[in-house]
Structure 1
Amino acid sequence: MHAADLGGAPAALSPPVVVVGLGADGWDGLAPRSRAEIEAAEVLIGSARQLHLVPVSVAAERVPWPSPLSEALPGLVEQAGRAVVVLASGDPMLSGIGTTLTRLLGADRVRVLPAPSSVSLACARLGWAVEDTAVVTLVGRPVELLHPHVQPGRRLLVLGSDGGTPAQVAALLARRGYGASVVTVLGDLGAPDETRHAGTAAGWSAAVPALAVTAVECRADPGTVPLPTVPGLPDEAYESDGQLTKSDVRAVTLARLAPVPGGLLWDVGAGSGSIGIEWMRTHPSSRAVAVEASAERAGRITRNAARLGVPYLQVVVGRAPEALQGLARPDAVFIGGGLTTPGLPEACWEALPPGGRLVANAVTVESEAVLAAWFARAGGDLLRLGIQHAEPVGRFTGWKPAMPVTIWTVVKP
């Protein structure tokens, strides 16, 4: 979207908006080019703290961000012919206003002059390689997004909204069985009075400044079994009433769905939500909608999604195909229940774009008949999966077969 699209002056009449990153060392730490842009500004926009860091000798009009922030953004394009400089913290393109403005105005209308990011400064203080450190942004986001990153031996840098983030991170680690993890909170990075607090997640109690980065060295407590990063999580990872695609079948089903970053999945007849949840766990940009007729199960899906690190899973309570109306067009659809419902397979097939993928599982003769008819009509691949588990038979061990599952996979031409 460009300035003219938002009702402001045409792009040619206004110079680009300049976004200048400020470190905690303020004016003294700015590069000469960044200082020159601020000194030449006619309008300075930033937080009260950031504006206070600019010397009074700079004559620009100073505009503090209102709350909510979005109210100020349209005003940027109304400054026809005026030099506008936006002040940001550190690197404006790391969970910062630079990203928002570039998306709003277009990359050709924004010029970014970054300062060292909090990530770079934190890694420098800790002696960590940036490329080996996972960065998790919790700025305005739920702490549950941290879950997929918690693995033994991983190093994490967590960016939070305020000084309460370290305690939330420590509590989550302790609940997950990672109370032995080393938590280091680096406050006011780049300022003369930097602070550093360290401890374990289980024993965390330190008070920290609002401008802080939380560094975590993940260490599992004795007996903690890490969750795998690939599809097919243990069945025990889910709260369930029995309506759950079991682990082995789930792994095959996800492989057939072939998730790619940014893809949107409809999980129809979601049960405990496992397919949609594990689709989203494959990449942070992946999205899913879980459609479930039972309100009780829908609540269970929401809890499972939060506990397994994908709190943005959309849960729709309703009976398909009616509940599918108005949903964003999917890249893939999984039908885990309700195949015999009149019109359901048709609605899912029609919703898919060319190249979209449909996977459906059946365990009953009636639902298998539906899949056989669709296989004859649309082609694809029909697979019957039989799984047997070893169980005691008296003093010996025998094989107990699970119900076979028929899986239909098809890509829409």
Structure 2
Amino acid sequence: MTDSPLTQPFSSRPWLHLIGLGEEGIDGLTPAAQVLVRSAELVVGGRRHLELASSLIQGRALPWASPLSDTLPELMAHRGRLVVVLASGDPFFFGVGSTLRPHLEPSEWRCLPHPSSVALAASRLGWSQQDCAVISLTGRPLESLRPALQPGGQVFVLSADANTPSQVARALVDWGFGESIVTVLEALDGPRERRRSSVAHCFDLGDVNPLNLLAIQVVAGPEARVLPRSPGLPDDWFEHDGQITKREVRAVTLSSLRPRVGEMLWDVGCGSGSVSIEWLLAHPSTQAIALESHEDRAARAARNAASLGVPRLELKVGRAPAVLEGLPPPDAVFLGGGARDPEVIERCWEALRPGGRLVANVVVLETEQVIQAAWQRLGGSLTRLSVERLDKVGGLHAFRPAMSVVQWVVDKPVSRAAPGREEYASSP
């Protein structure tokens, strides 16, 4: 683990205890957990958690600041003394555990989870958790829900507040999923627990408890744009000015980029953003930075990303290679534009992590010559992609060829000595 200002070597029995708390309060805690809360020198939690456990707390009660990271220095100053952090349900399920874990050695903490709200909701509805998608809208845009809306699917949505259910219902109608059944589950496992259901297009549930989550049985209408699990979205799903990697070539491009869990893409000269958007759709953990020299195109790419369910796309306006300065190193690079400049290729290659992939698509002869020179120096493969589409010729039909695309694909060699995200070298 890499040391941070909050992390210093420490070896002892656990001093920090993460305790999951349900809506029923301290009555749901085990005797051991109650003893820990009562004995703690410092108890950290949300104001609701501290209130629920107030009768047990004898030490200092510290509410989380906003953002949570502002509380970490004070919490870590108590290292080695008994500290309890109260959290909702399972601290490592969309919880504070993920915030604390990077600052702790494994021997320093112990977790006593409570059933998560999703576990409780699944038990109420009889849904199998392993078959359900889970989306959190706490601090995340509503559009993040889009990729999970698959016909016949079941989705749990962790709400941000009392307004989330009505906002989700309206969005489902706007996106063509108005026949979906939305169940609102409130204050689970507490005295105020309530469960109500409605079809999205006639959703009128009021007086919703801020502590709620949604369960959606997805029904897609004929006008719904269901995001597929494979690359190659229709071109007309993107707003563009002609600067777009066409559907067939885009599908091949994504197969060459080979997105993997948690990886970062640089999309240099992103145009409509179609390649980086489909990269992000490959998995919720993927990341992408789209680089574009034209502000209007960058704004268009941002709108496309939001409408297609990946508002996390990061946009940078500027001309490469200058705009590449200071960016986190990529695991893959796509050169849809900028490939004509050998310096851009060189800078991207230098920044690319060992084992990463660089893919460039070119159309014009001058850029093809630059790519061929790079291929001779760095290796990889060159492929010419040609597509023909049926078109009218007078009153008849014929296939009309689109401009051919030359695709260069090269993997950066792996070195045992090279730094990177992980141990790239293969075992002996």
CA RMSD in angstroms comes to 2.0
Stretches of structure 2 that go unaligned for 5 or more consecutive residues are 414-428
Aligned residue in 1 for 2:196: 197
Say if 1:330 and 1:210 are closer, same or farther in 2 by CA, change over 3 A: same
Aligned residue in 1 for 2:299: 299
Aligned residue in 1 for 2:365: 365
Aligned to 2:110, the other structure's residue is in SS state strand
1:125 offset after TM fit, Å?
Answer: 0.8
- Paired amino acid for 2:121: A
Aligned residue in 1 for 2:227: 227
Say if 1:55 and 1:288 are closer, same or farther in 2 by CA, change over 3 A: closer
Aligned to 1:11, the other structure's residue is in SS state coil
Aligned residue in 2 for 1:20: 19
Q: Is the aligned partner of 1:71 residue 2:75?
A: no
Q: Is the 8 A contact 2:4 2:103 kept in 1?
A: no
Aligned residue in 2 for 1:85: 84
CA distances 1:184-208 after superposition (whole Å, capped 9, x unpaired): 1100000122111211222223221
1:13 offset after TM fit, Å?
Answer: 7.3
After superposition, residues 182-193 of structure 1 pair within 5 angstroms as: 182-193=181-192
Q: Is the 8 A contact 1:152 1:219 kept in 2?
A: yes
Aligned residue in 2 for 1:238: 238
Q: Mean alpha-carbon deviation: is it higher for 23-32 or for 212-221? A: 23-32
Q: Is the 8 A contact 2:93 2:116 kept in 1?
A: yes
Q: Is the aligned partner of 1:108 residue 2:117?
A: no
- Paired amino acid for 2:239: E
Q: Is the aligned partner of 1:42 residue 2:41?
A: yes
Say if 1:29 and 1:240 are closer, same or farther in 2 by CA, change over 3 A: same
Aligned to 1:185, the other structure's residue is in SS state strand
1:300 offset after TM fit, Å?
Answer: 0.5
Aligned residue in 1 for 2:123: 124
Number of matched residues? 412
Aligned residue in 1 for 2:348: 348
Q: Mean alpha-carbon deviation: is it higher for 103-112 or for 313-322? A: 103-112
Report the Cα distance in structure 2 between the residues aligned to 1:383 and 1:53, rounded to whole angstroms. 64
Report the Cα distance in structure 2 between the residues aligned to 1:2 and 1:355, rounded to whole angstroms. 22
Say if 1:195 and 1:313 are closer, same or farther in 2 by CA, change over 3 A: same
After superposition, residues 135-154 of structure 1 pair within 5 angstroms as: 135-154=134-153
Q: Compute the TM-score of the two structures, normalised by the length of structure 1.
A: 0.94
CA distances 1:175-225 after superposition (whole Å, capped 9, x unpaired): 211111111110000012211121122222322111001111111123434
Report the Cα distance in structure 2 between the residues aligned to 1:264 and 1:67, rounded to whole angstroms. 28
1:57 offset after TM fit, Å?
Answer: 5.5
Q: Percent identity?
A: 48
Report the Cα distance in structure 2 between the residues aligned to 1:73 and 1:367, rounded to whole angstroms. 51
Q: Is the aligned partner of 1:284 residue 2:257?
A: no
After superposition, residues 255-274 of structure 1 pair within 5 angstroms as: 255-274=255-274
Say if 1:382 and 1:67 are closer, same or farther in 2 by CA, change over 3 A: closer
- Paired amino acid for 1:340: R
Q: Mean alpha-carbon deviation: is it higher for 160-169 or for 355-364? A: 160-169
Q: Compute the TM-score of the two structures, normalised by the length of structure 2.
A: 0.91
Say if 1:212 and 1:396 are closer, same or farther in 2 by CA, change over 3 A: same
Structure 1 segments, 4+ long, off by >3 Å, are: 1-5, 10-15
Report the Cα distance in structure 2 between the residues aligned to 1:323 and 1:148, rounded to whole angstroms. 30
Q: Is the 8 A contact 1:102 1:109 kept in 2?
A: no
Report the Cα distance in structure 2 between the residues aligned to 1:257 and 1:225, rounded to whole angstroms. 25
Q: Is the 8 A contact 1:264 1:330 kept in 2?
A: yes
Report the Cα distance in structure 1 between the residues aligned to 2:351 and 2:79, rounded to whole angstroms. 44
Stretches of structure 1 that go unaligned for 5 or more consecutive residues are none
Report the Cα distance in structure 2 between the residues aligned to 1:2 and 1:85, rounded to whole angstroms. 24
Say if 1:244 and 1:81 are closer, same or farther in 2 by CA, change over 3 A: closer
- Paired amino acid for 1:351: A
1:5 offset after TM fit, Å?
Answer: 4.3
